[in-house]
Amino acid sequence: MADPQLPYLLIDFDSTFTQVEGLDELADIALQGHPDRERIVGEIRALTDSGMNGSISFSESLRRRLGLLSARREHLPLLVEQLKTKVSDSIVRNRGFFEQFRGRVYIVSSGFREFIEPVVADFGIDADHVLANTFTYDADGRITGFDPENVLSQDGGKIEQLRRLDLQGKVYVMGDGYTDYQMRESGLADRFYAFTENVSRDAVVARADEVVPTFDEFLYQNKLPMTLSYPKNRIRVLLLENPDARAAELFRAEGYQVESVPGGLDEDELVERIEGVSILGIRSKTNVTPRVLEAANRLIAVGAFCIGTNQIDLVGCMQKGVPVFNAPFSNTRSVVELALGEIIVLARRIPEKNPKMHQGEWDKSAKGSFEIRGKKLGIVGYGNIGSQLSVVAEAVGMQVYYYDVAEKLQLGNAVKCRTLQELLQQVDVVTLHVDGRKDNTNLIGAKEFALMKPGALFLNNARGHVVDVPALAAALRSGHLGGAAVDVFPHEPKTNQEVFESELRGLPNVLITPHIGGSTAEAQRNIAEFVPERIMSYINTGNTQQSVNFPNIQLPQQQAHRLIHIHANVPGVLARINNVLANRHVNILGQYLKTNEHIGYVITDIDKEYEQEVIGELRKVEHTIKFRVLY
């Protein structure tokens, strides 16, 4: 039964119902093997476009295209098969809508009935709701043109067709072409929706009542039943600090709107930009502070396109129901390789020799240079990076010592130190691979440098605030340390245009790099795939696996409707959710709950049959932070 609330909906076929233009595709099939195929198909496409954006009359465009086509009756079944695979994604997704509202939907097209009818029949649309042209053929089955009696073959044909339909009630038109808009212009239709999923024409978009990038958006705006809980085109992604282009590509392919800012943003700038943003993507420079979170009115998830997440108020995100995802191992190897390279480079005093050579100074000497073979490497922080460096360093003959605040599996012949002091006192090279937690601020200062052996080398590829930089500069200037490599700094420029200031500039045997430990093609590509995949999986299924601040739930395939409920972790919330469901006789197919000290995350899969009121009642459950439904 048609819903009386639904206006009549007239949908264009070519480039709206399907992703492509039927006649262009037909030309492609008919001209297989023709030496001039590409040129002719190109000409046909150009004529289609001119007709669609209104720059030549529709009838002229049609006549000239058919003249170029050389198609035959037997090409049509092939065309139909092809078009069935090219129905617009959001139309396919909402097949149920067409089946439910078939009586209110008309396909009004200047294309041809011969290929439209079988394609839309799969969506429950009957032949008498298809209004389109028909071909004419010669005795050999060659397509010679179109039936000139059909109003749709004439200029203004869609308007006349709509008049003849004489529909009583509201009429909405959705299409990509000028002739679709003309039905609205004539006053016979109440609204025109420019459909831009496949093609966006400026002249058409400019005149539309609404621009809908997908059919989901049309359904959402009109409060009609839809397959997705929320149109993906409404999900706005803000990417800062230049993650690999693959990230934007993946988000766009999912249908999200993506905006990129090449550098980092400071707090004020981010507060201004965050409104309306659903997914925020950052790297190490952008701080997601309580003020930023307060301004974030639509935030669904944060992606850290890096390992460290100390720049993000993780608890604040959690309390707002926002999971944070990072890429915990995508750049691990890159940092390890950099650290190993730095140890060798410092041990050979290359930071001093290289600039001299560039100035024409030949300083051949072995003074202060040594092999790393047999030397003692002290790794502070034996996590993913530290432990992988341990393996690689042993492979080149170093003796590894490590210190970690947590109990860690000892790899190879590495020697565990019970205290930081014990490690610092005995090794030739100290390398930091701790995380950036606040407590690690100034973990290494004057006292720790003094404990290190004279001539020891020091590396910081972890976080800038972990080291007291003036104390490091003093230890280098005094000659107590033999050299240092530093990739991370307490104050880093937000963009490549800002000047880098540090006490370490100009010191001998000091290698300073602009936070590039993870900046390799491999790492950046891996990160740009890993983080969007995690975020999209969360949005599409509720899966929080590998989130750094949310209870991790890896979910089975969704069985029916899925209710996703994030609440403050206080007693009784699950019971209240289940009370609502029980009172409304909703059948639970599966339920998954995990909590941490701040929040509870409960996923409930329920039968498709339930009253809409259930959703309203669940939203009102006390202590709810966020609630959404996945269909």
Ligand X SMILES: O=C(O)CCC(=O)C(=O)O
Binding site for ligand X (CB under 6 A): 283-284, 306-308, 331, 517-519
435 binding partner (options ligand X, ligand NAI, none; Cβ < 5 to 8 Å by kind): ligand NAI
Choose among ligand X, ligand NAI, none what residue 207 binds, the Cβ cut-off being 5 to 8 Å by kind: none
Q: Do residues 492 and 465 lie in contact, with contact meaning Cβ atoms separated by under 8 Å?
A: no
Among 422, 381, 423, which Cα is nearest to 405's?
381
463 is catalytic: yes
**Partners of 402 in beta bridges:** 379, 416
Q: How far is the CB of 535 from ligand X (least distance, A)?
A: 17
Shortest distance (Å) from residue 607 CB to ligand NAI: 42
User: What's the rounded Cα separation, in Å, for the pair 6 and 3?
Assistant: 6
What track of x and - describes contact with ligand NAI for positions 448 through 477 (by CB under 6 A)? -------------xxx--------------
Count Cα neighbours of 87 within 13 Å in the Cβ-side half-sphere.
20
Residues 433-452 close enough to bind ligand NAI by CB under 6 A: 433-436, 440, 443
Q: Name which of residues 507 to 546 contact ligand NAI (CB under 6 A).
A: 515, 517-518
Q: Is 379 helix (H, G, I), strand (E, B) or coil?
A: strand
378 and 448 Cβ atoms separated by less than 8 Å: no
CB of 408 to ligand NAI, least distance (A): 6
For residue 596, give the amino acid letter.
N
Residue 371 neighbours by CB distance under 10 Å: 12
Least distance in Å: CB of 351 to ligand NAI? 18
CB of 387: closest distance to ligand NAI in angstroms?
8
CB 98 within 8 Å of CB 124: yes
- Name the strand (E) or helix (H) holding 109: strand 105-112
Is 561 a binding residue for ligand NAI by CB under 6 A? The answer is no
Cβ closer to ligand X: 282 or 614?
Answer: 282
* Residue 107 CB-half CA count within 13 A: 31
* Contact window for ligand NAI (CB under 6 A) among 224-232, 258-266, 360-368, 399-407: 399-407
Quick one: tokens of 395? 């492979």
Q: Considering the complex, what minimum distance in angstroms separates the CB of residue 244 from ligand X?
A: 10
Q: Among ligand NAI, ligand X, none, what binds residue 366 when CB lies within 5 to 8 Å by partner kind?
A: none
- Among 96, 103, 145, 308, contact with ligand NAI (rule: CB under 6 A): 308
Rounded distance between C-alpha atoms, residue 281 and residue 243, angstroms: 8
- Pick from ligand X, ligand NAI, none: which does 385 bind, CB < 5 to 8 A by kind? ligand NAI
d(CA 324, CA 302): 5
Check binding of 332 to ligand NAI (CB under 6 A): yes
Nearest CA among 561, 517, 531, 581 for reference residue 248: 531
CA–CA separation, 519 and 523 (whole Å) = 7
Decide which of ligand NAI, ligand X, none touches 403; Cβ closer than 5 to 8 Å per partner kind: ligand NAI
Does residue 492 carry a catalytic annotation? yes
Give the interface segment with ligand NAI, choosing from 235-243, 402-410, 448-456, 618-626 (CB under 6 A).
Answer: 402-410
Nearer to ligand NAI, 53 or 287 (CB): 287
Return the half-sphere exposure (C-beta side, CA atoms, 13 A cut-off) of residue 490: 15
Helices (H), 415-480: 420-426, 446-451, 469-477
Considering the rule CB under 6 A, would residue 403 count as an interface residue with ligand NAI?
Answer: yes
Asked whether position 382 contacts ligand NAI by CB under 6 A, the answer is yes
Nearer to ligand NAI by Cβ, of 112 and 403: the residue is: 403
Q: For residue 542, which phi and psi values (nearest 5 degrees)?
A: 90, 0
If the CB atoms of residues 329 and 592 are measured against ligand X, the closer one turns out to be 329
| From 93, 273, 433, 515, active-site residue | 515
Residue in the structure block whose two tokens are 């042993």:
394
For residue 10, how many other CB atoms are within 10 A of its CB? 28
Of the listed 463, 561, 562, 567, which one is catalytic? Answer: 463
Task: Please provide the size of the chain in residues.
Answer: 631
Q: Where are the alpha helices (DSSP H) in 348-433?
A: 350-358, 384-395, 420-426
| Backbone dihedral angles phi then psi of residue 100, each to the nearest 5 degrees | -70, -40
Residue 433 interacts with which of ligand X, ligand NAI, none, CB < 5 to 8 Å by class: ligand NAI
Please state the closest distance from residue 297 (CB atom) to ligand NAI, in A.
30
Nearest distance from C-beta of residue 279 to ligand X, angstroms: 18
Query: 381, 482, 542, 551: which one contacts ligand NAI (CB under 6 A)?
Result: 381
Paired sense of beta strands 171-175 and 8-11, if any = parallel
Q: Give the Cβ contact number of residue 365 at 10 Å.
A: 8
Q: How far is the CB of 420 from ligand X (least distance, A)?
A: 22
Through-space distance between the first and last CA atoms of the chain, rounded to whole angstroms: 22
373 is catalytic: no
The partner in contact with residue 443, picked from ligand X, ligand NAI, none with C-beta cut-offs of 5 to 8 angstroms by kind, is ligand NAI
Stretch 175-214: interaction string toward ligand NAI, x if CB under 6 A: ----------------------------------------
Which entry of ligand NAI, ligand X, none binds 201, CB below 5 to 8 A by partner kind?
none
The nearest distance, CB 382 to ligand NAI, in angstroms, is: 6
The two beta strands, 143-146 and 135-137, are antiparallel
Residues between 593 and 622 with contacts to ligand NAI, criterion CB under 6 A? none
**Which of 211, 186, 165 minimizes the C-alpha distance to 10?**
165
331 counts as binding ligand NAI under rule CB under 6 A: yes
* Residue 442 touches which member of ligand X, ligand NAI, none, C-beta under 5-8 Å by kind: none
DSSP state of 410: P
For ligand X, the closer CB: 308 or 590: 308
Residue 72, CB-side half-sphere exposure with 13 Å CA sphere: 8
Q: What is the 3-state secondary structure (H, E, C) of 469-493?
A: HHHHHHHHHCCCEEEEEECCCCCCC
Give one DSSP letter per residue of 223-278, joined into a string. Answer: T---SSSS-GGG-EEEEES---HHHHHHHHHTT-EEEEESS---HHHHHHH-TT-S
Smallest gap, in angstroms, from Cβ of residue 516 to ligand X?
A: 7
- Per DSSP, the three-state class of 416 is strand
Q: Which of 210, 337, 492, 617 is catalytic?
A: 492
Give the whole-angstrom CA distance, residue 179 versus residue 549: 52
Count residues contacting ligand NAI (CB under 6 A)? 31
380 binding partner (options ligand NAI, ligand X, none; Cβ < 5 to 8 Å by kind): ligand NAI
Q: Which does 386 bind (CB under 5 to 8 A by kind): ligand X, ligand NAI, none?
A: ligand NAI
For ligand X, the closer of residues 437 and 576 by Cβ is 437
User: Which residues are marked as active site?
Assistant: 463, 492, 515
Where along the sequence are the contacts to ligand NAI (CB under 6 A)? 307-308, 331-332, 335, 380-386, 403-406, 408, 433-436, 440, 443, 461-463, 487-488, 515, 517-518
